Amino acid sequence: MGMTIAEKILARAAGLPAVEAGDVVEPRVDLAMSHENAALVINQFQEIYQGTGLEAKVWDPSKIAIIFDHRIPAESSKTATNQKKVREFVAKQGIRKFHDIRGDEGGICHQILPENGYVRPGAVVVGTDSHTTSHGALGAFAFGIGATEMASVWTLGSVLNVEVPGTIKVVANGSFAPFVSPKDLILYLVGKLTAEGANFRVIEFHGDAIRKMSTSGRLVLCNMSVEAGATSGIVPPDEETSRYLREEAGVKDNAAFVLPDADAAYGQVIEVDVAQLIPQVAFPHTVDNVKPVDAAAGTKVQQIVLGSCTNGRLDDIEVAAKILKGKKISKGVRMLIFPASWRIYKDALKRGYLADLVDAGAVIMNSGCGCCLGVHQGALGDGEVALSTTNRNFKGRMGNPNSEVYLCSPAVAAASAVTGVITDPR
Amino acid sequence: MATSAKVVLKLGDDISTDVIYPGRFMATVLPTETPQYAFADMQEFNAKLKKKEIPADSVVVAGKNFGCGSSREQATSTLKGYELTIVAKGFARIFLQNSINLGLQTIVCPTIEASEGDELEIASGEVVSKTTGKRFPTLPLPKARQAIIDAGGLIPYTRKRVLAAKSKV
């Protein structure tokens, strides 16, 4: 029987001719990513070596990436001290794929990795962040792990005891209607699958709607696959993957693709005609509480957030700028924009998008995770409602358990900014 | 070996790591310091934990998909700090792996029914309610994971591998 992409990648990385769902393997890691929580990884890493009489050296500094994005610039002395500790570790261990709080290299980890060519098709990528699933957009098997697991990876260069996941095949055909985007597709799928519908499984994305989609859109799908519990979301690499790697990520060598076998076994197949999709909204307080936008229309909002590892890319900012150009954001609404990287920030600046957004009343924040996880920059007041292009709306997510977060696409966010209530952009 | 303990908290489905350990406390990373923020937004329960009114091995019962969302390991270490046992209908993947790695007691019990105050016995292959007399089968953890538990967690497990490699040289 044939293998899925996940099975093929794991078999290769574990040095086995073939694996199937349920097997336990120990894959070699091609890229190990952490953000500020590297501070905890360092602690656990040093503990592993305690009493061994050996010096704590990472297995391969060229395969470790550390990107500061969650709390930048530091919101507290505690964070600043953690960041300092990570900088010292990075220097000592010779880790070069380190992206500090700098305009010439910084941004959100799930944008920095692809745009710098760190992720290749067929790679095994692990990250101490659940949205590491994003990198499946380039045909990698990428999944989130905890800090202690990462300390073990830094030590051994492999992930211990990975159970090969089964795969759900999504086949998305057709063309998106105007103002409908990959974000609406993934919200729809999370709603359909539910928050645990893909737990311990991989989602493989097929169909002509995926083939026609830019890498930016594929990153949205894979990013939010974890919201259905998926270990990983994967798009089979193609011409677009090569184009992205060559033109946007500056990769010179030709990447070898890992593709699924025609007779691969899928536990479940979901077909979607994207032409039938209308804008979707996830209601508080779970990501799978998804309804068509009309169900939320008219809901008053106080804060609108455009950005994050889900929807902070140039095409997302472009959509918002085009809707808001020459208009004014409703009084009583604050709109915060977090570009996913400084490279995107500069591109949006050059194209005039940021000026259009500022003229409309938006506030351009520094590139980073911002208020998505409720640490700093844009907490909500008691009883306030936010509409956000981010990926999570759990109770308390934006820093206040007495507030509500609705999730949507950039087009819905921008259209709603004008009216002050959740609005269908069509 | 069977142990019996009281259900001190009953939760529903899809309890996220944001509920277990809110993001705004993520700058606190050390397992020795994270317990103070366990269920921080459920102030009453958090206060009981901090006042040490909840004995070790007490049980939290939850529905499906416990620990969904962020991979933050603080959500595991904060519960481990009080030596709580989590009996849930199901766990999200990363949370379950973190719990195995750090030695937090997690019991997968798809049909569990219990209320706060009930006395549960965690037996081999089942959970028995001393209060209602009902028995609920549990699912075993995969063998490969059992090895990490037997080693006392992932840190000692990996340390063993490091030492084994050292002795080969």
Specify the pLDDT at position A156. 97
| Count of structural domains within chain A | 2
Specify the pLDDT at position A375. 86
Q: Each residue of B49-76: pLDDT tens digit?
A: 999 999 999 999 999 999 999 999 999 9
Closest CA to A183 of A194, A174, A191: A191
Pair (A204, A268) in one structural domain: yes
Closest CA to A140 of A22, A60, A225: A225
Contacts of B29 in chain A (CB under 8 A): 37, 39-40, 43, 82, 147
- The residue type of A172 is A
Residue A69 C-alpha, separation from nearest chain B C-alpha, in angstroms? 13
Pair (A107, A191) in one structural domain: yes
Contact B158 A156 (CB under 8 A): yes
Q: Are A402 and A275 in contact (CB under 8 A)?
A: no
Backbone φ, ψ for residue A225 (5° rounding)? -60, -35
Helices then strands (H, E): number in chain B?
6, 7
- Integer angstrom CA distances of residue A163 from A166, A232, A283: 9, 13, 33
Q: Is residue A424 part of a domain?
A: no
Report the chain A residue with the minimal C-alpha distance to residue B65: A196
Longest dimension (CA), chain A: 66
CATH architecture observed for domain B3-138: Alpha-Beta Barrel (3.20)
Task: Assess whether the previous peptide bond of B110 is cis (omega < 30° from 0).
Answer: no
Residue A309 CA to residue A107 CA, distance in Å, equals 9
Pair (A309, A267) in one structural domain: no
DSSP string, A368-396: S-GGGGTSSSSPPPTT-EEEESSS---TT
* pLDDT, mean over chain A: 97
- Integer angstrom CA distances of residue A135 from A113, A213, A310: 8, 15, 12
A77 vs A253, which has greater pLDDT? Answer: A77
Pair (A252, A299) in one structural domain: no
Nearest to B155 among A48, A161, A231 (CB): A48
Q: Is residue A224 part of a domain?
A: yes
Pair (A236, A312) in one structural domain: no
Pair (A13, A142) in one structural domain: yes
CATH number of the CATH domain containing A396: 3.30.499.10
Pair (A147, A168) in one structural domain: yes
Please report which residue ranges of A233-352 form alpha helices under DSSP H. Answer: 239-243, 308-311, 314-324, 342-350
B111 vs B1, which has greater pLDDT? Answer: B111
Q: Is residue A425 part of a domain?
A: no
Q: Are B84 and B60 in contact (CB under 8 A)?
A: yes
Is it the case that residue A186 has pLDDT exceeding 60? yes
What value, to the nearest 5°, has the Cα angle with vertex A52 and ends A93 and B74?
65
Contacts of A395 in chain B (CB under 8 A): 16, 18-19, 41
Is it the case that residue B1 has pLDDT exceeding 50? no
- Integer angstrom CA distances of residue A369 from A98, A174, A308, A366: 17, 33, 6, 9
Contacts of B69 in chain A (CB under 8 A): 130, 392, 394
Specify the pLDDT at position B22. 94
Which residue, A272, A298, A327, sits at the end of a domain?
A: A272
Residue B128 CA to residue B119 CA, distance in Å, equals 9
Question: For residue B168, how far is the Cα from the chain centroid?
Answer: 36
Contact A200 B162 (CB under 8 A): no
Q: Each residue of A221-252: pLDDT tens digit?
A: 999 999 999 999 999 999 999 999 999 999 99
Contacts of A43 in chain B (CB under 8 A): 29-30
Is it the case that residue A96 has pLDDT exceeding 50? yes
Contact A286 B14 (CB under 8 A): yes
Mean pLDDT of A287-310: 98
Q: Is residue A426 part of a domain?
A: no
Q: Where are the domains of chain B?
A: 3-138, 141-169
Specify the pLDDT at position A345. 98
Q: Do the interacting molecules here have an ipTM over 0.85? A: yes
Is it the case that residue A359 has pLDDT exceeding 90? yes
Pair (A299, A224) in one structural domain: no
Nearest to A396 among B18, B76, B143 (CB): B18
Query: Chain A interface, mutation test: which of B32, B33, B73, B139, most A Cβ atoms within 10 Å?
Result: B73
Question: Residues B106, B112, B117, B123: is their CA dihedral positive or negative?
Answer: negative
Residue A263 is classified by DSSP as T
What value, to the nearest 5°, has the Cα angle with vertex A20 and ends B138 and B69?
55
Residue A177 is classified by DSSP as P
Residue A323 CA to residue A411 CA, distance in Å, equals 8
Backbone φ, ψ for residue B60 (5° rounding)? -105, 125
Specify the pLDDT at position B2. 54
Tokens of A355: 């000026």
pLDDT band at B18 (very low <50, low <70, confident <90, very high): very high
Contact A146 B92 (CB under 8 A): no
Q: Is residue A116 part of a domain?
A: yes
Mean pLDDT of A169-191: 98
Pair (A193, A255) in one structural domain: yes
Nearest to A129 among B23, B71, B155 (CB): B71
Specify the pLDDT at position B146. 82
Q: How many CB pairs below 8 A link A and B? A: 161
Report the chain B residue with the minimal C-alpha distance to residue A46: B155
pTM comes to: 0.96
Pair (A77, A118) in one structural domain: yes
Q: Is residue A74 part of a domain?
A: yes
Pair (A259, A298) in one structural domain: no
Specify the pLDDT at position A291. 98
What value, to the nearest 5°, has the Cα angle with vertex B92 and ends B13 and A10?
155
Specify the pLDDT at position A253. 87
Is it the case that residue B84 has pLDDT exceeding 90? yes
Q: Is residue A44 part of a domain?
A: yes
Q: Are A142 and A126 in contact (CB under 8 A)?
A: yes
Q: Each residue of A54-67: pLDDT tens digit?
A: 999 999 999 999 99
Residue A137 CA to residue A147 CA, distance in Å, equals 24
Q: What is the dihedral of CA A326, A330, A333, A337, to 10 degrees?
A: -10
Contact A160 B19 (CB under 8 A): no
Q: Is residue A378 part of a domain?
A: yes
Report the chain B residue with the minimal C-alpha distance to residue A391: B69
Tokens of A17: 């001719």
Residue A374 C-alpha, separation from nearest chain B C-alpha, in angstroms? 6
Mean pLDDT of A317-340: 98
Which residue, A252, A272, A292, sits at the end of a domain?
A: A272
Pair (A236, A350) in one structural domain: no
- What residue numbers bound the domain in which A264 lies? 5-272
Residue A74 C-alpha, separation from nearest chain B C-alpha, in angstroms? 10
DSSP run (H or E) holding A80 = helix A77-93
